[in-house]
Chains A and B, each alone.
Chain A
């Protein structure tokens, strides 16, 4: 079963941290369809957080179609996030790794690379919402 953790300095709302941790666990195969998420009471007892926050996170996951609440039984994983197929992911991973190697060979340090990546990332995905 997934065990949640909190980063108090991230500026990311607590409910969203829970949602993201479930996404991550699903992507990494640490949570599989049919598995039960901890009850709100369990999460509250573990993390000393507000139960409404846990409910909010689970509602969001349910809205995304990733889990389903079964009254009296708990909240269960129904499917993994709609990821692209593994072959496509592998292709992009290889391309990005190649790019990173050439950047490093050209003398860029990790901070340079991150700045470039962030700028390009923002430019691409901000266009998407504009």
Chain B
């Protein structure tokens, strides 16, 4: 599998503060990849580095096998929608499309016009007077009409109401269905990611805590509850405890395993993607070696 984004020891420093430090990850191509993590994990910095809008302080990053923004061809292959989907407030919708046409060699004007018509946007309306959802859709239209091989979106739906969010993601998924582009998007809204992503990367403090195919992650994580077991009790080989909590009578664990849970003392329940993400985000301690092994599978 080739990588949409591959980073090794990647770091970005602003004066004395590291926004991203020693980040190593591989994001597969041909997928819709969700990037989640707490604020300050380095998601935005990573995505801006991938889009070529920032230069790394150290380490390397390649996007679709090339250095970001290495030249006009590479710029044309990668679309980027920044946080809060910025547009030019004083320009009309149709002026945005004309500008897109001038700036992008591979501009697909038919696609842009079709999307604007389908969305019911007035070409003569200034972008500043569009609703948040419409502005986001305009920004998405501009990014899609570039016909990029990879589209990077940084929290594109964070400020939208649920309906506008659903419409935005629907538009994005229809584009994926039609053009087969790779997508990497960051979001805090895990329920959205569960719908649209087939691959998930959890980033905490510049480190990949877990990465994998969403269906495989859901199938291999289970919530166990049963009579108390003291913390540190040995578990069967192949069972990795991600989080655990104990009362004097009961133990609740979230475990990762590819084997069936045979111990009849446990009540086994599936975990939602949200629980899974929260478990990895709240997990303490540095377990880089196992993460590295998983990255090996990805690249």
Contacts and interface: CB of A to CB of B under 8 A. Distances in A.
A9 interface: yes
B177 A48 contact: no
Interface residues of A, number: 29
The 4 A-B pairs with the shortest beta carbon distances in the complex, nearest first, are: A11-B270, A13-B215, A51-B177, A48-B170
B198 A50 contact: yes
Contacts, number: 78
Interface stretch (A70-78, A100-108, A119-127): A119-127
Contact of A8 (B169, B194, B219): B194
B224 interface: no
Majority secondary structure of chain A interface residues (helix, strand, loop or mixed): helix
Nearest to B30: A52
Interface of A: 6, 8-16, 40-41, 44-45, 47-53, 56, 118-119, 122-123, 126, 129-130
Contact of A48 (B173, B262, B275): B173
Given A11-B218, A13-B218, A126-B260, A47 B271 contact: no
Given A15-B215, A52-B31, A45 B195 contact: no
A47 B195 contact: yes
B272 A10 contact: yes
A8 B271 CA distance: 11
A49 B32 CA distance: 10
B269 A11 contact: yes
A88 B253 CA distance: 40
B54 interface: no
Contacts of A56: 198, 215
